[in-house]
Amino acid sequence: MTCEGWQYWGNDIAAWLQATRPVHRILRWLLGWWHPSICFLKIRKRRVGLPSNSQDFCSDYDIPETVATTCDFYPDCGVPRSAGGILLLETWPTVLWKGRPMRMVVALVLLILVLSGGLRSAHAQEGVDGGARPLSATEERALKPGDVFKECDMCPELVVVPTGSFTMGSPASEKGRGDNEGPQHPVTIAHPLAVGKFHVTVDQFAAFVKATGFDAGSSCWVWNGSRGEEQTGLSWRNPGFAQEGTHPAVCLNWNDTKAYVGWMSRKTGKNYRLLSESEFEYAARGGSSTRYFFGDDEAQMCRYANGADKTAQATIPGISDWRVVPCSDGYAYTSPSGSFTANSFGLYDMHGNAWSWVEDCYHDSYEGAPADGSAWTSGDCSRRVVRGGSWFYVPRNLRAAFRDWYSFYRSNLVGFRVVRTFD
Ligand SMILES: [Ca+2]
């Protein structure tokens, strides 16, 4: 340290002391100290002269001469040998000895309270935003069908879908129909929805796990070449085939997806949840009443969906005799979200790629089903509905009306998508 350098630094310290004088007064009242820094200035004033903006510190604080004597000097410069911080340490025992014990206890308690309040505030802030940018009320009112938004960098993109009515289920004449797809019944979706444009992706689920430490298990049901079996060492991170971050997250059970949407709601302060079964079919159909949102012809599938196609048949053992999708979509397993053509609502992969968990408990008939788009949450809730089909499903099981259920295990066929409401 040179004398010149010290001089410049000393001016900075003097300016800082001047600017923070109210704090020093509080500290001095509580703890009985501010001697060290003043000592520094006092000595400096004596030896090299104080800057004009700090000339009154010594008299202001009535520094005892004895304190000044604890400071050392640079012999070459005639100034304190180091910064105020060092001087603080040097004189700290004196400060403690001369301090005001009761006031120090009060100060310590206040400090703890302030710090703990700050931590609580930081924690709450993380819960409310954590980088989230929820829409304002004005922005929400301005939304119209087809608009796309997301509320944090790693949040799912959402598409505003129009309200409306549709006929849920399939007619008896539909090719490949299952008995559990009836009776057909009208459903009205009167509430505005913003539906996940894609499945929740691997990267998006990873962001959730990173933020929360959530444990989504270490085993998953997979196809072993002849049947499905649960294998350990598999999870959404490694579902038994290669995935990129934009692929749908799979090997997630219903509870995993509920944890995710709960976190999304807390993070944004908005209502994120799973779709109801009727909302899903309404969104998948996109105004159509055909087998698929693009029509009835499964030969067109490879433009719109990733199913069990010729690519899969050439890759996956044990399915050579399946009646697969009669074209090549290019993917044996999951595909990057949005690889195929969207439906008329602007939603991708509503057929295939991965099943989506929905909120409803499974019923094998629509007798008594809600007609207002709400989830059917009575009955046997050990089975939850999945919709949309997956990369492992043949044309019949990729239809808009097709439905199935899983209990609470994880499968590399099943992921989910979110919906965001405005109530
Ligand atoms: Ca495929």
The Å distance, Cα 348 to ligand 1 centre, comes to 15
Helix (H) / strand (E) element for 24: namely helix 21-31
The number of folded domains in the chain is: 2
Please, which pLDDT band fits residue 4 given cuts at 50, 70 and 90? very low
Domain membership of residue 101 (yes or no) is yes
Average pLDDT of the residues in 249-259: 98
- What are residue 44's DSSP bridge partners? none
How does strand 355-361 pair with strand 384-387? antiparallel
Domain membership of residue 54 (yes or no) is yes
Q: What percent of the chain has pLDDT over 70?
A: 73
Instruction: Point out the domain boundary residue: 122, 157, 183.
Output: 122
**φ, ψ dihedrals at 98, nearest 5°:** -95, 0
State the pLDDT at residue 117: 72
Return d(Cα 306, Cα 334) in angstroms, integer.
Answer: 7
The Å distance, Cα 155 to ligand 1 centre, comes to 26
Domain membership of residue 333 (yes or no) is yes
The Å distance, Cα 327 to ligand 1 centre, comes to 9
Domain membership of residue 129 (yes or no) is no
One domain for residues 107 and 206: no
Domain membership of residue 127 (yes or no) is no
State the pLDDT at residue 16: 58
One domain for residues 87 and 204: no
One domain for residues 80 and 164: no
Contact criterion met (CB below 8 Å) for 245 and 343: no
State the pLDDT at residue 52: 37
The Å distance, Cα 420 to ligand 1 centre, comes to 29
The Å distance, Cα 269 to ligand 1 centre, comes to 37
The Å distance, Cα 156 to ligand 1 centre, comes to 23
One domain for residues 256 and 108: no
One domain for residues 243 and 323: yes
Question: Quick one: CA torsion of 71, 75, 80, 86, rounded to 10 degrees?
Answer: -80
The Å distance, Cα 120 to ligand 1 centre, comes to 48
297-339 per-position pLDDT tens digit: 999 999 999 999 999 999 999 999 999 999 999 999 999 999 9
Instruction: Point out the domain boundary residue: 122, 148, 171.
Output: 122
Give me the chain's average pLDDT, please.
Answer: 82
State the pLDDT at residue 205: 98
Q: At 347, which CATH number?
A: 3.90.1580.10
Beta strand segments in 164-217, E: 164-168, 185-189, 193-196
- What are residue 79's DSSP bridge partners? 74
Helix (H) / strand (E) element for 341: namely none
The Å distance, Cα 392 to ligand 1 centre, comes to 7
The number of residues making up the chain comes to: 423
Instruction: Point out the domain boundary residue: 122, 150, 171.
Output: 122
The Å distance, Cα 204 to ligand 1 centre, comes to 22
The Å distance, Cα 389 to ligand 1 centre, comes to 11
Domain membership of residue 284 (yes or no) is yes
131-152 per-position pLDDT tens digit: 899 999 999 999 999 999 999 9
The Å distance, Cα 332 to ligand 1 centre, comes to 5
Domain membership of residue 392 (yes or no) is yes
One domain for residues 51 and 181: no
Please, which pLDDT band fits residue 115 given cuts at 50, 70 and 90? confident
User: Which tops the pLDDT comparison, 10 or 279?
Assistant: 279
Contact criterion met (CB below 8 Å) for 222 and 379: no
The Å distance, Cα 223 to ligand 1 centre, comes to 15
Residue 188 pLDDT > 60:
yes
Return d(Cα 423, Cα 412) in angstroms, integer.
Answer: 33
State the pLDDT at residue 110: 82
The Å distance, Cα 330 to ligand 1 centre, comes to 6
Please give all residues whose CB falls under 5 A of ion ligand 1, grouped by chain where several chains appear. Answer: 306, 309, 312, 329, 331
State the pLDDT at residue 61: 39
One domain for residues 59 and 165: no
Give residue 13's domain range.
Answer: 2-122
One domain for residues 396 and 334: yes
One domain for residues 141 and 208: yes
Return d(Cα 394, Cα 298) in angstroms, integer.
Answer: 10
Domain membership of residue 130 (yes or no) is no
Residue 20 pLDDT > 80:
no
Measured at the CA of 334, the angle between CA 279 and CA 398, to 5 degrees, comes to 45
Average pLDDT of the residues in 21-38: 60
The Å distance, Cα 315 to ligand 1 centre, comes to 10
One domain for residues 244 and 115: no
One domain for residues 331 and 214: yes
Which residue is listed with tokens 């304002």? 136
Report CA 198 to chain centroid distance, whole Å.
16
Residue 279 pLDDT > 70:
yes
Handedness of CA 69, 72, 74, 75 (dihedral sign): positive
One domain for residues 107 and 142: no
